[in-house]
Structure 1
Amino acid sequence: MKIVDIQVCSLQPPDPSEPGTPATREPWNRLFRQASPRDRYDPPLERHEPGGQYFVKAIAEDGTWGLGSGDTGNTASVIIDEVLRHMVVGQEVGAIDTCNDRMWRGCLSFGQEGLTARAVAGVDLALWDLWGKVTGQPVYRLAGGPTRSSMDCYVTGNDVDWGLEVGFRKFKLARPHGFEKGQAGIDGTVDLIAKTREQIGEDADLMLDCWMAYDVDYTVRMCEALRPYRMRWMEEMLMPHDFAGYRELRKRLPWQTLATGEHWATRHPGIRALEECIVDLIQADITWIGGFTEAMKLAHYADTKGVQLALHTGVNDLYGQHFTAAMPNTPLIEFYQGTRPGVPLDECYLGSPSESGRLCYRTTPGTPMPKDGVLGLPPGPGFGQQVPEAWLVPYDPRVVVSHWLHVQKSGN
């Protein structure tokens, strides 16, 4: 069976029909300022991106369709419409490696990383979903799994009390300060970590997301200051391209677990990091690296090196849940808590009938949420998404930007 069309869409669900569960407060990311590399300037640079979340329909000749998704939709839509669709239309459903290679080769003249990888991801995910629907199989089975029947989850966000209430035992905090704050920033971070360690207990996992806000020297000073609090890992301290910096960190912090990779596009930066032995945990984002296929190739290579991979925000969408269920070296998965404390996690997804449930990150209808910090196997066939076809309209930047702003007030 052939692929006959690739369509880029916006999501346009009906308006909420009910107010929903009252929140106890706004989420942490509306109340807490996170340090970032943009703080180098005074005033700090504002964050701007070329569009928000978009969706891709891959349609087979019998009318079956698969659904992919990604962000930076204004640029992705152009790359998909003008280049990528021509690489896959006419190919066989299920010819994933062939379609994937054709897309990458089709982009050689203008570059494969960055925004291109985000566009490839949307199509690649739609092709996997289509294959699963045509065969009646969940994607994790098509990808060689399941390798586990349940997945441990950690929560990212500074609403630690809410995380504890819904059953998490593994916590990652956002950094309050970058290197511009000097010793005062280290002292403030130590204070936050010390209070959190006391709050969650000695046996809970604790991590810090540094989001590229440090330099090498500041990272070393910070890690040494935080050593008494037994950080499971320190994450993304440096810019994603700073391999020399990570080599230096590996020398100066041989005892500290180092994690990074969410801002790598394509598998190749990850392969380089593995070859240079400078990373202990890879945190690829499935929609930024180039899709399920590219992330799977990196996971398999990492497995040969004995390195684990934990997807960035992998719980928040079914793509990440299926990937984690399938790969041999993905025992842990991240839930980014961009929802309001007090609102049940199952109520929070794109298109929720609940007004209070509309604030979320990437989550489509039918996405299971963790129970006591654990996920079971995700649904199928395909990725098991429950997005009504009527909600998918031709891509419109005005629709996607409006929707993205509603979702992305969280600032992740």
Structure 2
Amino acid sequence: MSLRITDVMVRTAPFSAGTWLDESRISTPMSPYPAFAERRSSWRGPGSDLVWLYLGTDDPEVFGIGQTRGGTAVEAVVDHLVTLLPRTGTGPAAAAEQLRRAAEPYAAGGAAAMAVSAVELALWDLQARSLGAPLHRLLGGRSGPLPYYVTAPHPDTLAEVDADLLAGTRYVKVPMAYGPADGPAHLRDNLDRLAEVRRLVPGHIPLAVDCFMSWDVPYVLRFAAEAAGLGLGWVEEPLARDDLAGHAELRARLGPVGVAAGEHAFGLTEGLALLEGRCVDVLQSDVTWCGGLSVARTLGEVAVRRGVTFAPHNAAMHPWALHLLSALGPNVLTEVLVGAGAPAVVPTVTDVPGAGTDKRAAGFG
């Protein structure tokens, strides 16, 4: 990359304020605390906000845009890391490694991985634009539609999904409203929600449930047993992210029902641990959280080699992830989120230069 970075802008923006992601009753790690059980907006605060990064160069037509989450806390880390960024001559992966090393002594883990992600994604975007090429060309991918699954907040929302979109989905996923903290009586409410989805979705399309790290092994096993006949394909994030033994046990005992996780695995080591521990059937690394595109690329390649489906979290809203998925072969899935403020359409990789991010849409005029 011969262009010189001359301009850096960082801004935060609300991500899910007022949507079902914040306001619906969903089982979460905070469900054991009644004051925070009804909605995520009661406890997530600014940590759920988007962080956008703009890197401008001495060529006004060449720039890079990256994104992560974490609000003002992560924005502060990004602000620091970009001061350490080589202004010229360093590729995205090498620059990101330098930033990871700088953050290791004081901020290793979630905040640092998220901040590095934003910087590295912007560098990939910038590099592709400098070559006048779509990002997928740098990754060995191609343009066109991608295989996908649909995440809906509630069975009622499925009525709003385009018929063609629903016809082409590989799975339909819904979040679960309750977990062990709510007592055994509410297990039936979760099963009823899944059964309602089953009535609305053609029988050949398997279903999935999102548990947001709030269930335990006995609860998952009981739920899966009682959901037999409903076409349950996978259980997502059933346990705390660092409970590798529990994930491996579930994978061994759930039979035809798969285990999905990895959305909250920060960094290459945590992602690889899920694969090496035989913990998942579906790996859901988030390219804007895990440390960037290079980390996600390695995880995706390892997952696909091991027969694990690579399905990055919220990928349809992350153009960098779409370009990556186009390069990883058939055993990938794109998550299409319904009702989160963006149109739910078949995810498609384009041939426009860079990742396809629009600086005005990102708030950089």
Q: Which has the higher contact order (CA 8 A, sep 6+)?
A: 1
Aligned twin of 1:211: 212
- Assess if the C-alpha contact under 8 Å between 1:318 and 1:378 holds in 2: no
Distance 1:326 1:41, change over 3 A: same
- Assess if the C-alpha contact under 8 Å between 2:10 and 2:79 holds in 1: no
Alignment of 1:379-398 (within 5 A): 379-388=351-360, 391-392=363-364
User: Given residue 88 of structure 1, which amino acid in structure 2 is its aligned partner?
Assistant: L
Alignment of 1:204-283 (within 5 A): 204-283=205-284
Alignment of 1:1-400 (within 5 A): 1-5=2-6, 7-10=8-11, 29=21, 32-44=24-36, 46-51=42-47, 52-63=49-60, 64-82=62-80, 84-92=81-89, 95-146=91-142, 149-157=144-152, 158=154, 159-163=157-161, 165=163, 167-169=165-167, 170-328=171-329, 330-339=331-340, 360=341, 370=345, 374-388=346-360, 391-392=363-364
Aligned-partner Cα distance in 2 for 1:151–1:217: 36
Aligned-partner Cα distance in 2 for 1:48–1:194: 30
Measured after TM superposition, the shift of residue 330 of structure 1 is: 4.9
User: Given residue 133 of structure 2, which amino acid in structure 1 is its aligned partner?
Assistant: Q
Following TM superposition, where does structure 1 have runs of at least 4 consecutive aligned residues deviating by more than 4 angstroms? Answer: 26-31
Deviates more, 1:244-253 or 1:120-129: 244-253
- Assess if the C-alpha contact under 8 Å between 2:31 and 2:182 holds in 1: no
Aligned-partner Cα distance in 2 for 1:293–1:30: 30
RMSD over aligned Cα, in angstroms?
A: 2.4
Aligned-partner Cα distance in 1 for 2:12–2:96: 25
User: Given residue 310 of structure 1, which amino acid in structure 2 is its aligned partner?
Assistant: A
Distance 1:302 1:5, change over 3 A: farther
User: Given residue 158 of structure 2, which amino acid in structure 1 is its aligned partner?
Assistant: V
Aligned-partner Cα distance in 2 for 1:387–1:269: 32
Aligned-partner Cα distance in 2 for 1:28–1:391: 23
Measured after TM superposition, the shift of residue 3 of structure 1 is: 3.6
The alignment partner of 1:323 has SS state of helix
Listed as ranges, the gaps of 5+ residues in structure 2 are none
Measured after TM superposition, the shift of residue 88 of structure 1 is: 2.2
- Assess if the C-alpha contact under 8 Å between 1:6 and 1:56 holds in 2: no
- Assess if the C-alpha contact under 8 Å between 1:139 and 1:322 holds in 2: yes
> Cα deviations across residues 350-385 of structure 1 (Å, max 9, x unaligned)?
xxxxxxxxxx2xx5xxxx852xxx333234200112
> Cα deviations across residues 161-218 of structure 1 (Å, max 9, x unaligned)?
1125463143111102111233322211111111211111211231111111201111
TM-score by length of 2: 0.87
- Assess if the C-alpha contact under 8 Å between 1:9 and 1:55 holds in 2: yes
Distance 1:309 1:42, change over 3 A: same
- Assess if the C-alpha contact under 8 Å between 1:299 and 1:329 holds in 2: no
User: Given residue 258 of structure 1, which amino acid in structure 2 is its aligned partner?
Assistant: V
- Assess if the C-alpha contact under 8 Å between 1:36 and 1:213 holds in 2: yes
- Assess if the C-alpha contact under 8 Å between 2:93 and 2:120 holds in 1: no
Aligned-partner Cα distance in 2 for 1:391–1:27: 20
User: Given residue 58 of structure 1, which amino acid in structure 2 is its aligned partner?
Assistant: L
Listed as ranges, the gaps of 5+ residues in structure 1 are 13-25, 340-359, 394-412
Measured after TM superposition, the shift of residue 309 of structure 1 is: 0.7
The alignment partner of 1:57 has SS state of strand
- Assess if the C-alpha contact under 8 Å between 2:337 and 2:344 holds in 1: no
Q: How many residues in Structure 1 have an aligned counterpart in Structure 2?
A: 348
Aligned-partner Cα distance in 2 for 1:192–1:390: 36
User: Given residue 392 of structure 1, which amino acid in structure 2 is its aligned partner?
Assistant: F
User: Given residue 233 of structure 2, which amino acid in structure 1 is its aligned partner?
Assistant: R
